[in-house]
Structure 1
Amino acid sequence: NISVVGTYLIALTPWTYILSRHAHEGVIGALLMLLALYFLLDLSKGFSIKAMLLTNLFIILAANSYHSYRMFVFFWIFWQIVLLGFYKTKVKFNRIFFWIILFFTILIPLSIDAGSSLNRVGNLLFTQNPGIHLRLQEYLIEHGSTLIHNIYTQGIVDISNRYISQISPEFFLIWGDKNWLFGYQYLGLITLVEYVFIFIGVYYLFREHQFHRFLLLSLLLISPIPNALTWQDASLIRVYFMIFPLLFITSYGLINFLCDIKNYRIRLLTVFGLISMYGFFLLYHWDVYLFHYPKRIEVIRAWQCGYKELGQYVKNNYNKFDKFVITDRHGQPYIYLLYYLQYDPAKYQKQAIMTIPDSYGFGQ
């Protein structure tokens, strides 16, 4: 019942569709993370080389699917070491082989990073935001104590605030991602019912001494960290995986809560009330997403609509004007013009001069 309810909740939440509808790499990474979790849970039932190899294979693949999932490599390593301690006296296995596998699980992602550019990741770190340095400078002018006002203390404050913002009711229920590509006001990621049952689920995890309670909770709590380390606002992309442990816990709390209601009629009324509330909020969120979100001008601009028509206009009027003046306020128009004008890539690459990476780590 718990797995059925969890699957149902995940299948209906807008959270999963906002990114999956345009095949974002973070979604592929989430799938690989779930496979790693599946085989880790299989490993917890009894040590096997197959389960361990598959766990670490999917850890490596997930870490190289999207940069946020690199943060989880050490999480998975930690839990495998915990299992090693658990099996210390119960199961015999080759410990040297175990440590070699863990070593390569860390080494492979690091080796790939060493051989590629990390401009985008580096530019997104909170230390690269001019705002934190300007704020620090202002504080030092007002109160010159470097013990209190330094990059480390300010970093702790900023990271903590961003972390809290990722697990706040505003993020879950009202705004979600404030980037118009991935969110909009009143486009809730989960419903109020699901949010309440997160806390109820945590209660039942500990009351029932659920074997995997610490694994689930730690997986939930580590999920906001990748974005907390950046200078950006709450981001759906970097916490996409959080929906899975979150709704696992929600469904666990929901089923146990209903099972604790012994009176059949009261339980039936409770189920009806919860479904009605859930359905109302879910319908409202989907209404915003399907019928209002795509019609807002800021969303249209964020998705950079109109470049096809612009390309066609340039093509039809190319010989009528000496030059075209096109703003880059809403994106990088040269990409779209090259595509829609069917400009030869080989010819362009010979004459293109790459600019230095911008604040997001992209050049043009």
Structure 2
Amino acid sequence: MSRVDPHLPDPHLPHLCSGAGWLIAILALAGLLRLVWLDGAPPGFNQDEASNGYDAYCFLKTGRDRHGDWLPVTLKAFSDKVDHRSPVYAYLSVPSVWAFGLTHFGTRFPAALLGTVTVGLTFLLGRTLLGARGGLAAAALLAVSPWHIFMSRFAHEPSVVPFFLVAALCCLLRGTASRGYLLAGAALAALLLYNYPVTRLFGPVLLLAYAVVFRREVKERKRAFGVALALFVLLVLPLAYKTATLYASVQGRFHQISIFDEPFPKCVVLFALNYLSHFAPSFLFGRGGVVEGDFVKIAYLPMLPVMLVGLWECVRQRQPSHQLLLAWLLAFPLAASLTYPYVAAPSALRPIVAIPLFELLAALGFERCLGEAPAAAWRKLVAGLLALALAASAFFFVAHYLFVYPRHPAPGFQYGFRQALQYVAAVQGNYDKVFITDKANQPHIFVLFYGQYDPRTYQTERVEREYLPSGWWKVNRFGKYRFGDIRGVYEPNRRHLYVARPEELAGREIMPLKTVGGPGGKIAFLVVRGE
């Protein structure tokens, strides 16, 4: 008999809520917060988002990525030396790009959809670990989580990691008594490793913890667990083979940011400091982690008391569910701690495997507080006060994110390219050459994305690239497009079109065809012609 019961008794639930009704409301709220104004918040568009979107467009049209590789295990997006990234998000984006077009919304939709589904899966996971009321509390907390809302609106590889992680755990926990769920869990755990690179360390560590926590079930059902392990290994083999045969390039980005170049004593100290920084109050409840030059809040301060209670329960109790949560807590910073942090704070991307751990711990603490309350009136008071504090925190975050943040976007979202390049796409037929400023991160990908550049043409034509000292590609030209400093190529009497930063045309008498405003009233781009 499994020690994980997905239908734990919950005697207080009928007095506090109707489970199904609350779950529907939570999912509706989660969907609303992840889908409303998806094309405008975050404002601008990141080069990694554009890369995933355009590769999805290429898969849709040709079955190959933009470099001509057929259904690759990794995508060499911006370099074949240091940028072998996960293709999972690009594959997931194919249906939405087909349905909504090559747009911000179409590219971000998979993150928003799977983010909403993850809230529902968190209810199932929480119900299995904590009971029905704990599952609802965890789902509600994740629905309004600032970290998860941000990631669910960002078309980047780590954005879908929580979906695969929670889905795998749901199946594996049910798999202690069901072979079908066990095999599904093994398959999802394997797919998890194809996502963001941190999962390639975290995934095996968590699976090992799962095997230790449920060692009795593993011993009783050796054959079923052996088949599941074989399936997991079989599905991971393509990734393992590519990593082994192209190790230097597949691991190129990690080698750039890892701490292993330091002497061993310093490496140990750096790892310890990095590891502990993920538990710092400033990271968890203060400014948060860094994404694209801006801070992303991780959790709301009112969650702190119930998280501490939940953590104490995990330490105090010897239940398998609590032991698994504690192992998860200890494991989530491991991979991120092997890399140099940002100057100001840890990354908010590399510890992505912590979603929805903090919500589950808070839900466990919430459940414990309600269970200790001496009477129903006290239970309602505790629940009401916590809900009010969290609702206020969530309201201020959402209001800031949707109405204030768009006026001050993070620099990494490269605001203004959409307006400039959609105009260029409409008029470029009137010009012999189009020159795009290189005062941006990988500007060529925005030309491909906003111009919906024909994938077959890009896959077969000559693309002139050079390697930067860092190992990244700098695309200099393809087709009629050229990329560089506009100051060195501007010719006033040619049939050329230019997309420039204002400082590149300073001192020249020009009449812009289009001026693209940027944050704070500044000019982001000028579109001018040479005639």
**1:65 counterpart SS class:** coil
Contact 1:13 1:190 in 2 (8 A): yes
- Note if 1:277 corresponds to 2:389: yes
Shift of 1:180: 4.0
Shift of 1:356: 2.8
Question: Residue 16 of structure 1 corresponds to which residue in structure 2?
Answer: 148
Render the CA deviation track for 1:143-197: whole Å, top value 9, x for unaligned. xxxxxxx52222222222222222222122222232346x43xx53311121232
Render the CA deviation track for 1:111-148: whole Å, top value 9, x for unaligned. 2433567646432346667xx97xxxxxxxxxxxxxxx
Contact 2:161 2:192 in 1 (8 A): yes
Question: Residue 239 of structure 1 corresponds to which residue in structure 2?
Answer: 351
The partner residue of 2:268 within 152, 156, 162 is 156
Question: Residue 418 of structure 2 corresponds to which residue in structure 1?
Answer: 308
- Structure 2 Cα separation of the partners of residues 23 and 343 of structure 1: 20
Contact 2:209 2:327 in 1 (8 A): no
Give the AA of the match of 1:308: R
The partner residue of 2:466 within 355, 361, 364 is 355
- Note if 1:293 corresponds to 2:425: no
Contact 1:163 1:224 in 2 (8 A): yes
Give the AA of the match of 1:228: S
Contact 1:26 1:65 in 2 (8 A): yes
**Where do 1:19-38 residues align within 5 Å?**
19-38=151-170
Which structure 1 residue ranges, 5 or more long, are not aligned?
A: 134-149
- Note if 1:2 corresponds to 2:134: yes
The partner residue of 2:374 within 262, 266, 269 is 262
Contact 2:314 2:325 in 1 (8 A): no
Q: Compared with structure 1, are the counterparts of its residues 126 and 232 closer, same or farther at alpha carbon in structure 2 (3 Å cutoff)?
A: farther
Q: Compared with structure 1, are the counterparts of its residues 72 and 305 closer, same or farther at alpha carbon in structure 2 (3 Å cutoff)?
A: same
The partner residue of 1:63 within 162, 176, 193 is 193
- Structure 2 Cα separation of the partners of residues 360 and 213 of structure 1: 44
Question: Residue 49 of structure 1 corresponds to which residue in structure 2?
Answer: 179
TM-score normalised by length of structure 1: 0.78
Contact 2:186 2:229 in 1 (8 A): no
Q: Compared with structure 1, are the counterparts of its residues 361 and 3 closer, same or farther at alpha carbon in structure 2 (3 Å cutoff)?
A: farther
- Structure 2 Cα separation of the partners of residues 318 and 95 of structure 1: 61
Q: Which region of structure 1 is more displaced relative to structure 2, 94-103 or 240-249?
A: 94-103
Contact 1:14 1:190 in 2 (8 A): yes
- Note if 1:221 corresponds to 2:330: yes
* % identical equivalent positions: 22
- Structure 2 Cα separation of the partners of residues 7 and 341 of structure 1: 40
Shift of 1:288: 2.1
TM-score normalised by length of structure 2: 0.56
- Structure 2 Cα separation of the partners of residues 115 and 223 of structure 1: 28
Which structure 2 residue ranges, 5 or more long, are not aligned?
A: 1-132, 476-531
- Note if 1:123 corresponds to 2:232: no
Contact 1:25 1:66 in 2 (8 A): yes
Q: Compared with structure 1, are the counterparts of its residues 284 and 359 closer, same or farther at alpha carbon in structure 2 (3 Å cutoff)?
A: farther
Q: Compared with structure 1, are the counterparts of its residues 352 and 217 closer, same or farther at alpha carbon in structure 2 (3 Å cutoff)?
A: same
Q: Compared with structure 1, are the counterparts of its residues 38 and 94 closer, same or farther at alpha carbon in structure 2 (3 Å cutoff)?
A: closer
Render the CA deviation track for 1:284-334: whole Å, top value 9, x for unaligned. 2222212211111x52x3211211333356575997999857242x32222
Shift of 1:249: 1.3
Q: Compared with structure 1, are the counterparts of its residues 213 and 360 closer, same or farther at alpha carbon in structure 2 (3 Å cutoff)?
A: farther
**2:339 counterpart SS class:** coil
Question: Residue 172 of structure 2 corresponds to which residue in structure 1?
Answer: 40
Question: Residue 143 of structure 1 corresponds to which residue in structure 2?
Answer: none
Question: Residue 74 of structure 1 corresponds to which residue in structure 2?
Answer: 204
Give the AA of the match of 1:284: F
- Structure 2 Cα separation of the partners of residues 283 and 109 of structure 1: 42
Larger helix proportion, structure 1 or 2? 1
**Where do 1:130-149 residues align within 5 Å?**
none
- Structure 2 Cα separation of the partners of residues 308 and 67 of structure 1: 29
Contact 1:223 1:242 in 2 (8 A): yes
- Structure 2 Cα separation of the partners of residues 2 and 293 of structure 1: 32
Give the AA of the match of 2:282: E
Render the CA deviation track for 1:253-304: whole Å, top value 9, x for unaligned. 11111220204444443333322222222222222212211111x52x3211
Render the CA deviation track for 1:231-253: whole Å, top value 9, x for unaligned. 24222222223121221111011
Higher RCO, 1 vs 2 (CA within 8 Å, ≥6 residues apart): 1
**Where do 1:74-113 residues align within 5 Å?**
74-79=204-209, 81-82=211-212, 85-87=215-217, 90-91=220-221, 93=223, 97=227, 100-101=230-231, 103-104=233-234, 107-113=237-243
Contact 2:183 2:228 in 1 (8 A): no
- Note if 1:332 corresponds to 2:462: no
Larger strand proportion, structure 1 or 2? 2
Q: Which region of structure 1 is more displaced relative to structure 2, 350-359 or 87-96?
A: 87-96
- Structure 1 Cα separation of the partners of residues 472 and 228 of structure 2: 37
Q: Compared with structure 1, are the counterparts of its residues 62 and 361 closer, same or farther at alpha carbon in structure 2 (3 Å cutoff)?
A: farther
- Structure 2 Cα separation of the partners of residues 322 and 79 of structure 1: 58
Question: Residue 192 of structure 1 corresponds to which residue in structure 2?
Answer: 301
Q: Compared with structure 1, are the counterparts of its residues 229 and 358 closer, same or farther at alpha carbon in structure 2 (3 Å cutoff)?
A: farther
Question: Residue 147 of structure 1 corresponds to which residue in structure 2?
Answer: none
Contact 2:274 2:337 in 1 (8 A): yes
Q: Compared with structure 1, are the counterparts of its residues 33 and 116 closer, same or farther at alpha carbon in structure 2 (3 Å cutoff)?
A: farther
Q: Compared with structure 1, are the counterparts of its residues 120 and 363 closer, same or farther at alpha carbon in structure 2 (3 Å cutoff)?
A: farther
Count of residues in correspondence between the two structures: 338
Give the AA of the match of 1:334: H
- Structure 1 Cα separation of the partners of residues 141 and 337 of structure 2: 26
